[in-house]
Chains A and B, each alone.
Chain A
Amino acid sequence: MARSLKKGPYVEASLMRQVNQTDGKGIVRTWSRRSMIIPGFVGRTFHVHNGKLFMPVFVTENMVGHRLGEFAPTRKQTSHAGDRRLKQR
């Protein structure tokens, strides 16, 4: 079931605080993969934890409505030795 519109998009309160504090520039480190990307995040860079590392995520307009975690894969992409044509990323 989809989230009620009345509540608005979910953004972790602590993330929101961090974003507001580092106005404009400045990279925000976060574990909050579940937070929705809101229009105010466009043009900012987030370092999103993938369980091991912080993946840099530069937010563009098209990403609005997705969640931060969608851009920081938690799994290694598999490939076999001698695999011809390894797909880019």
Chain B
Amino acid sequence: MARISGVDLPREKAIEISLTYIYGIGRSAARRVCDLAEVPRAMKTHQLDETEVVRLRDAIESHYKVEGDLRREFQQNIKLLMDVGCYRGLRHRRGLPVRGQRTHTNARTRKGPRKAIAGKKKAPTKK
């Protein structure tokens, strides 16, 4: 029922928690939004009346960049790095870690699942 920035908020949770379902709003931002909108943080989401929802919506719109806009900004920043041709951009392009981490081992978050190399012998398993 309460729909803010294109996201349906869970009904049974405190508004302070519900707001974190919006991309770009974490716990501390959620608290600040509640305070700005003068809504009690612990209030359950389904107990909010229309005016409170409107106040929350206004508070988010005027103070935070959320959802699509935020994702777009995020992508644009990466694209900028790639276009300008700097080291960080190259790492983004190759899908490798950007901040100087090792890649000899690990780095699986960036590299994705391990790829088998044809013809590579398995290390003998220790007894």
Query: Which chain B positions have C-beta within 8 A of A71?
Result: 85-87
Total number of residue pairs linking A and B with CB closer than 8 Å: 22
Secondary structure type dominating chain A contacts: loop
Q: How far is the CA of A87 from the CA of B85 in the complex (A)?
A: 14
Residues of B in contact, count (CB < 8 Å):
10
Secondary structure type dominating chain B contacts: helix
Q: Determine if B90 and A62 form an interchain contact, defined as CB atoms under 8 angstroms apart.
A: no
Q: Determine if A70 and B93 form an interchain contact, defined as CB atoms under 8 angstroms apart.
A: no
| Contact flags B31-53 to A (C-beta < 8 A → 1, else 0) | 00000000000000000000000
Query: Which bucket holds chain A's interface residue count?
Result: 10 to 19
Q: Determine if A66 and B94 form an interchain contact, defined as CB atoms under 8 angstroms apart.
A: no
Q: Determine if A62 and B83 form an interchain contact, defined as CB atoms under 8 angstroms apart.
A: yes
Cross-interface CB contact of B87 among A73, A87, A89, cutoff 8 Å: A73
Cross-interface CB contact of A70 among B80, B87, B94, cutoff 8 Å: B87
Q: How far is the CA of A70 from the CA of B91 in the complex (A)?
A: 11
Binding site for A on B (CB under 8 A): 80, 83-88, 90, 93-94
Binding site for B on A (CB under 8 A): 60, 62-63, 66, 69-71, 73, 77, 87, 89
